Structure 1
Amino acid sequence: MSDESAYALLSADVTIHHQDRLALCFFSRYDSPMLRQVLAHPDDALKDPDCEVLKSDRTTTVGVISFDGRRFVFKRYNTKNTWHALRRALRRARAENCWNFAPRLTALGIATAPVVGWVQERIAGLKSRSWILCEHVAGPTCASVLSDDSEPAVCDEILEGITGILLQLRQNRLSHGDLKATNILLVHNRPVIVDLDAVQTHISAAACERAFKRDCSRWLKNWREQPEVKARAIKQLRKAGLVNGD
């Protein structure tokens, strides 16, 4: 078991259940007949007419579903072709990565969508598709809020919060790996990081620094067409001692 898996298991009671080709894992505090139904039949949940599909392509399918009086985001990681399936079979499932790192980020004070459970499909003993279920976070994306027309004080407040997250990640030798502005939700102008598929722990300081620079570069790339926002973002990074210039 990986260190991250052990961390997740120590964070709360976890229920693990096997059904046919699927392995279901979820935090016991969410346990209910409906939760078990969703995780045991994940494709049906995403095909349900009441599912609000947010994204569906060769890589992922994402939908908002409701049960037990609450809303959840359910994401399936698809296999694009046979070669892709074989490569994924040899690596940790992306859903498992989200499951492992969400509690860890929360413990560090980094807000993220609370994970509920995840599912691993195996075919002939090999890992295939996987699903992650998270609580729904109600809030706009950073991309839809920040622009050169934003109120300067609001813009700086949001950018300062995101800079703080980057600082926390770096101090703990972590990287997000996909800091698109659409992967940052805002709740009362406070950032909530989602899509933890590519989060990594780095053993060496050098590897962490390379990943951190990629995170910063991707973060600033969001604002290529918003020069005022980009300038303010760079100012916040420089103020925190994270960059020397643009």
Structure 2
Amino acid sequence: MSAAPLLDTAALRAAGRAPATPFRIRLADDRLVQIERLLRVLPGKRIVGAGTLEGEAALIKLFIAPGSARHWQREVDGLAALQDAALPTPAVLTAAPLAGEGHAVLTAFLAAADPLSALWQRSPADDARLALLAPALALLRRAHAAGLVQSDLHLGNFLASDGQLWMIDGDAVERPQAPGAPLSGAAATANLALLLAQFTPQWDEQAARCLHTYLAAGDGPAVALPQLLHEIERQRAARLADFLAKSGRECTLFQVRRSATRFSAVLRDQADALAPLLADPDAAIAGGRLLKDGRTCTVAQVEIAGRARVVKRYNLKHLGHALSRCWRHTRAWQSWREGHRLRFLGIATPVPLALLEARLGPLRGRAWLVTEHCPGVDLLTHLDPQREPPPAEARALRELFAALHRARISHGDLKATNLLWHDGEVVVIDLDAMQQHDSAASHARAWARDRARLLRNWPAGSALWRWLEANLPPA
């Protein structure tokens, strides 16, 4: 069998997001590292993969950007700080410059390791998730007592292997206090909130139990629940703003393409499958099953790689309509962003897969949105106006409107046909007019309109109308 190609940092930078594996790279001391499988790639900056060093299995982190020594040194120092604090982290096999330029850190490879994020997704019940989170909270308490914070704290930076939870990613480990001193209460609160802000707002009800588990893990900084909840809300808002900004630019999650005549954004893991559709979305609509054909929009169900998708084209009714909209974000853009906002907040809506806009320089024209297809039935059909909703639907309706109200989100066109019952959830669709409000007063006015529009779907005084009137957040 021929040896894997020997590359250097220039070749790896040129390879972008998809360097071919396996490949070898030489350390400055002439030893050869081989990467068999990619785990993460930051194009032109960093490559993380599984491979070997002189036959020994290793997790390999390559720093390939010009001037990468600073990040490499942070990784080395962070891993050393975790080890000095007796926190479980994989042993460093070597940390060395690469031949020519760039740097590498190799750590012991954890066999059959599961990121805590994957275990979390497989355990939907709250009690099961709290049990998974408990050892991570205990490790975080120990880190804080040792004066350490993890500035990129998320479940993916904890690995479960052979009954042990491990902390990884030394690049994000910092020591803001003097060596040997524990974190301040404010710093510990902020770092714990960074972890808990990863979860949906509905999970904030478990914050008190998480804090109890964290505090029970040993001595350390004082953290109080009111300050923790405030910090969770602040950090979640910052994460949401960052995530929505990413939905419109090239990054790990999204593939974005711009030219003088078009703009497209697509979930990166869907880009190849959706490429033919995005090349000619009108042909896809013409070949699909027409769901709606109106003046303002045309909607069709299509099949892509054996999976049902929905394509929605936002039409321009006439020249005046086109001129009035050409300087503004398209309705497809609005739906794209609001769909991702709802998903981030744990509110059910079909996954937005792709956005396409026809442009002429800065001017916007027609636009298309591609989403997953939800096979649910709309609430106008599903609910009997002469009866209160069944228990499952009642619970889902209360949870949905509580979540929207808590986030100050208004829908803008709250017809019952824009709410689908599917798989135990009320799924929200048609997000063209959705808005998250900055002020309580603005949201209150919009919610009053939304509430009135929803109630108009059913006869005033009917059993369902009375139930909604009693259970919806007040106007």
Query: Normalised by the size of structure 1, how large is the TM-score?
Result: 0.87
| Counterpart check, 1:44 vs 2:44 | no
- Structure 2 residue aligned with 1:221: 456
Q: Is the 8 A contact 1:159 1:233 kept in 2?
A: no
Q: How far off is 1:162 after superposition? A: 2.3
1:111 to 348, 365, 380: 348
- Structure 2 residue aligned with 1:243: 474
**Identity of aligned pairs, percent?**
32
* Distance (Å, rounded) in 2 between the aligned partners of 1:101 and 1:161: 20
Q: What is the letter of the counterpart of residue 69 of structure 1?
A: G
Q: For the structure 1 residues 163 and 219, does the alpha-carbon distance in structure 2 shift closer, same or farther, using more than 3 Å as the test?
A: farther
* Distance (Å, rounded) in 2 between the aligned partners of 1:108 and 1:186: 19
Q: For the structure 1 residues 19 and 52, does the alpha-carbon distance in structure 2 shift closer, same or farther, using more than 3 Å as the test?
A: farther
Q: Is the 8 A contact 1:24 1:40 kept in 2?
A: no
Q: How far off is 1:68 after superposition? A: 1.0
Q: Is the 8 A contact 1:56 1:62 kept in 2?
A: yes
Q: Which has the higher contact order (CA 8 A, sep 6+)?
A: 1
Q: What is the letter of the counterpart of residue 282 of structure 2?
A: D
Q: For the structure 1 residues 28 and 217, does the alpha-carbon distance in structure 2 shift closer, same or farther, using more than 3 Å as the test?
A: same
* 1:81-106 Cα distance to aligned partner (Å, 9 max, x none): 11111111122111111111212211
* 1:177-216 Cα distance to aligned partner (Å, 9 max, x none): 1111111111134200011111112122111110111111
Alignment of 1:15-164 (within 5 A): 15-18=255-258, 21-32=261-272, 34-48=273-287, 51-123=288-360, 125-150=362-387, 152=388, 154=390, 156-164=391-399
Alpha-carbon RMSD across the aligned residues, in angstroms, is 2.3
* DSSP-derived class of the 2:367 partner: strand
Q: For the structure 1 residues 20 and 181, does the alpha-carbon distance in structure 2 shift closer, same or farther, using more than 3 Å as the test?
A: same
2:436 to 174, 182, 201: 201
Unaligned runs of 5+ residues in structure 1 are: none
* Distance (Å, rounded) in 1 between the aligned partners of 2:454 and 2:398: 10
* 1:96-123 Cα distance to aligned partner (Å, 9 max, x none): 1111121221122210000100101114
* Distance (Å, rounded) in 2 between the aligned partners of 1:7 and 1:157: 35
Q: How far off is 1:225 after superposition? A: 6.6
* Distance (Å, rounded) in 2 between the aligned partners of 1:7 and 1:222: 37
* 1:121-154 Cα distance to aligned partner (Å, 9 max, x none): 114641011110000111111111112355x461
Q: For the structure 1 residues 134 and 217, does the alpha-carbon distance in structure 2 shift closer, same or farther, using more than 3 Å as the test?
A: same
Q: Which is further off, 187-196 or 175-184?
A: 187-196
Q: Which is further off, 76-85 or 15-24?
A: 15-24
* Distance (Å, rounded) in 1 between the aligned partners of 2:440 and 2:297: 32
2:420 to 185, 191, 201: 185
Q: Which is further off, 131-140 or 85-94?
A: 85-94
* DSSP-derived class of the 1:37 partner: helix
Q: For the structure 1 residues 124 and 12, does the alpha-carbon distance in structure 2 shift closer, same or farther, using more than 3 Å as the test?
A: closer
Q: For the structure 1 residues 207 and 114, does the alpha-carbon distance in structure 2 shift closer, same or farther, using more than 3 Å as the test?
A: same
Q: How far off is 1:40 after superposition? A: 1.7
Q: How far off is 1:226 after superposition? A: 7.6
Q: Is the 8 A contact 2:412 2:446 kept in 1?
A: yes
* DSSP-derived class of the 1:165 partner: helix
* Distance (Å, rounded) in 2 between the aligned partners of 1:178 and 1:123: 30
Question: Which has more radius of gyration?
Answer: 2
* Distance (Å, rounded) in 1 between the aligned partners of 2:303 and 2:260: 25
| Counterpart check, 1:170 vs 2:410 | no
Q: How far off is 1:8 after superposition? A: 3.1
* 1:141-181 Cα distance to aligned partner (Å, 9 max, x none): 1111112355x461x53244223222222221211111111
Unaligned runs of 5+ residues in structure 2 are: 1-239
Q: Is the 8 A contact 2:247 2:265 kept in 1?
A: no
Q: Is the 8 A contact 1:111 1:192 kept in 2?
A: yes
Q: What is the letter of the counterpart of residue 193 of structure 1?
A: V
Q: How far off is 1:59 after superposition? A: 0.4
* DSSP-derived class of the 2:385 partner: coil
* Distance (Å, rounded) in 2 between the aligned partners of 1:125 and 1:8: 19
